[in-house]
Amino acid sequence: MAFILALFAISLASGFLIPVTLAFLLFFVFARLRRSMVRRKIPAGIAAGLIVLTVVVAVALVLMAIATPASQLLDRIPEITGRLESKIQGLRGSISLLDAAVMQLRRNGDPESAVVTSSAFIAIVTAMPELVGQVFFVLCLLFFLILCGDLLYLKIVQSFDALSDKRAAYKALRDIEDSLGQYLGAITVINVGLGVAIGLAMWALGMPSPAVFGLMAFLFNFVPYLGAIAGALVATFVALMTFFGIGYPLFVGLVYMALTAIEGQLITPYYVSRRLRMNPVVVFGAIALGAYLWSIVGMVVAVPLLVVTSVIADHLPALHKFANFLSGESPPLLATTDTPT
């Protein structure tokens, strides 16, 4: 019952916990950079401001890269409707769901659809103040965390009585920094390479806006497993709208899946430290739970939170078995002995 109540509280307080979690994760990611800047005689306030400004610029560039193709896609809805209808013309009698989807898309040109579109637009505009407020909260909290990072560590360490506990707490904080930095740094570099590879592949296959697919692959791949599936489905759908027939669009989706499979099965295990690999079952469960509690943001932060949880469990003797369960390392083989019959 305590676990259920905790989940309910986490879901209920999502408006507060999501920005706080994002700010603390970003703090641990940039903590080593902040310490390096301070060692070079850069004042802590300026270092914090530069780091927050870098985050703002990066987010703005990503949003600008997404906004243009999204608006172009909305303008092409009538064309997409006609192509989709022609694709499934022969399947209408047997696939009612697809027929309903076509009828819904066809209503985009009707006056009634304008009301639906207007309602959606109003809902987006209504949600914008809350979203902007949460983003501003994340940036402000991140600034103060970076500004007072050493003081925060000192207060956490001083909350323990025994000297051994103080050392263990400080080592745990530094290990969280190192683990999150290594994991997110490696994953970011890998995702950049995957985005370039998929963008080039989409360009070679004649897909429209291949750079957008590269950016999509880069962003989606921060969500293990589900991100690759979602990206492949989007690529297949766009290919269906672009090319005639079904075989070539399916081939486009298979190419996308093949590249993500190479990344997930060969490249990531090679470059990500074995100590940071997570149990795939736990990862998938954490992503599903994060999506249930915090929607898309929960899916993105699920694995970094697992990394933090694994590091904390490694430093607590009572949780060593739990840390072993979270780990993706193969357990040692059990020794077998022949017993006489």
CA–CA gap between residue 186 and residue 260 (Å, rounded) = 16
Residue 338: inside a domain: no
Instruction: Decide which of 92 and 58 is more confident.
Output: 58
Q: Is 327 helix (H, G, I), strand (E, B) or coil?
A: strand
Contact between residue 199 and residue 338 where contact means Cβ atoms under 8 Å apart: no
pLDDT over threshold 50, residue 113 = no
Q: Are residues 77 and 178 in the same domain?
A: no
The verdict on residue 335 lying in a domain is no
pLDDT of residue 196: 92
Tell me the pLDDT tens digit for each residue of 218-274.
988 888 888 889 999 989 888 887 787 788 888 999 999 999 999 888 888 777 766
pLDDT digits (tens, 9 = 90+) for 80-91: 666 666 665 654
Domain match, 213 and 285 both: yes
Residue at a domain's end among 123, 150, 177: 150
Which of the listed ranges 186-190, 199-203, 291-295, 332-336 does the model predict with the highest average pLDDT?
A: 199-203
Contact call for residues 321 and 45 (beta carbons, < 8 A) = no
Residues 100-118 have a mean pLDDT of 49
- For tokens 């360490």, name the residue: 157
Q: Do 209 and 323 sit in the same domain of this protein?
A: yes
Residues 6 and 145 in one domain: yes
**Cβ atoms 37, 48 nearer than 8 A:** no
Please state which of the ranges 5-14, 125-134, 224-233, 246-255 shows the lowest mean pLDDT.
Answer: 125-134
In this prediction, residues 119-148 reach a mean pLDDT of 76
- Cα separation values, 35 from 25, 29, 50, 148, Å: 16, 11, 13, 11
pLDDT surpasses 70 at 120: no
Residue 297: per-residue pLDDT: 86
The pLDDT of residue 79: 63
Rounded mean pLDDT of the chain? 79
Q: What is the pLDDT of residue 283?
A: 85
For the segment 282-340, what is each residue's pLDDT rounded down to a tens digit? 888 888 888 888 888 888 888 888 888 888 888 887 777 888 887 766 665 555 545 55
Is residue 144 located within the same domain as residue 177? Answer: no
What is the pLDDT confidence band of residue 50, given thresholds at 50, 70 and 90?
Answer: very high
316 within domain boundaries: yes
The pLDDT value given to residue 180: 85
CA distances from 256 to 33, 160, 162, 217 (A): 35, 51, 54, 9
Please give the pLDDT value at position 112. 46
pLDDT for 102 equals: 47
Grade residue 167 by pLDDT with cuts at 50, 70 and 90: confident
Measure Cα distances from 334 to 277, 327, 328, 330, 331 in Å: 22, 18, 17, 12, 9
Are residue 192 and residue 307 in the same domain, yes or no? yes
Check if the beta carbon of residue 291 is closer than 8 Å to that of residue 11: no
In the chain, the amino acid numbered 85 is E
* pLDDT value of position 254: 93
Tell whether 211 is covered by a domain: yes
Number of domains in the chain: 2
182 and 320 both lie in a single domain: yes
Give the per-residue pLDDT at 255: 93
pLDDT value of residue 37: 87
Domain edge (last residue) among 97, 116, 150? 150
Average pLDDT over residues 150-169: 83
- pTM of the complete model: 0.74
Q: Which residues contact 203 (CB under 8 A, 6 or more apart)?
A: 210
From the list 200, 212, 207, the residue with the least C-alpha distance to 240 is 207
Among 119, 150, 181, residue at a domain's last position: 150
Residue 27 in domain: yes
Question: Over 60: is that where the pLDDT of 95 sits?
Answer: no
- Cα 280 to Cα 268: distance, rounded to the nearest angstrom: 13
- Considering the domain architecture, whether residues 209 and 306 belong to the same structural domain is answered as yes
Contact at 8 Å (CB) between 48 and 35? no
Residues 28 and 167 in one domain: no
- Tokens 């304008």, residue located: 114
pLDDT of residue 115: 46
155 in a domain, yes or no?
A: no
Are 14 and 133 members of one domain? yes
What domain range is 298 assigned to?
A: 160-328
The amino acid at residue 111 is P
- Residue 304 contacts residue 241 (beta carbons within 8 Å): no
**Same domain for 108 and 219:** no
- Looking at residue 211, its pLDDT comes to 84
Same domain assignment for residues 143 and 166: no
